[in-house]
Amino acid sequence: MTAEVTYADLRFTTLGKSQDQELQTARAKGNSPRLSSCWRLATVALGVFCLSSVVTAGVLTARFILVCHLVHERDENFTLQKAIMESLNQQLELLQAQNLNLTETVKQLATSRGHKCIPCPKNWLQYGENCYHFSKEWKTWQESKDRCSALESRLLKIESKEELDFTTESAQSYSSYSFWIGLSRNGSEGPWLWEDGSAFSRDLFQLQRASSSPFLDCVWLQGANIDTARCSEYKFYICEKVVDPAMVEQVSYLERH
């Protein structure tokens, strides 16, 4: 009797354990699809987050590299500009030193022997590119020519209307003085020639008594009057020579400084 009860209890116990295991297995199977879906959603979300993080990091890295490149270019340009400015400053200082030396040299040349360099000698008048000397001594035409040669010049040669106006107006300031000019002829049949051998043009002025006497072979002017006379007569004279270009440059330089 005791053995049968024990067997029945054991069987009941074993049966109860089997039912409990089946119930747990069923519950596990019922919860498995729900847990799997949650894991998949978590994995996708984590993947999207990681991808967006990688993309963001890439964009930030590219921007950082670009900014570094721009900063590097700016630094290089600044360095280049600084070097150019230093070079220009050195050249400017060199030019200023050369200019100072030239200024001192010109001043020394201009004030040598106590006189400033001028385009024309003392007591000469400048007009355009020529210097003119109105003498205060009487000479014959030939003596006047020789005197102008001694002064490294020639008797006046009028080559333009402007030069004619200048010389006649200047002569008027000498009152009634008559001045020999460099126009003459060799005898009454000869042509009127300037001292350098060039022909006289009547378009500039007319000779009043050129044909009235065969002995009036030299030309003089008195103010606005131009006439002929014997070459042996005594008159004042007008010498003319070209301005020294070197003197003109020195005077212009001094005036600017």
pLDDT at 249 over 70: no
Proportion of the chain above pLDDT 70, given as a percent: 69
Q: Indicate the pLDDT class of residue 75, thresholds 50, 70 and 90.
A: confident
Among 239, 212, 210, smallest CA distance to 226 is for 210
**Average pLDDT taken over every residue of the chain:** 78
Residue 238: what residue type? I
pTM of the model: 0.52
Q: What are the DSSP calls for 69-113, one per residue?
A: HHHHHHHHHHHHHHHHHHHHHHHHHHHHHHHHHHHHHHHHHHTGG
Question: What is 125-244's CATH number, 3.10.100.10, 2.60.40.1250, 3.40.190.10, 3.40.1360.10?
Answer: 3.10.100.10
> Tens digit of pLDDT for each residue in 231-244?
999 999 999 999 87
**Which residue ranges make up each domain of the chain?**
125-244
Q: Indicate the pLDDT class of residue 254, thresholds 50, 70 and 90.
A: very low
pLDDT at 41 over 60: yes
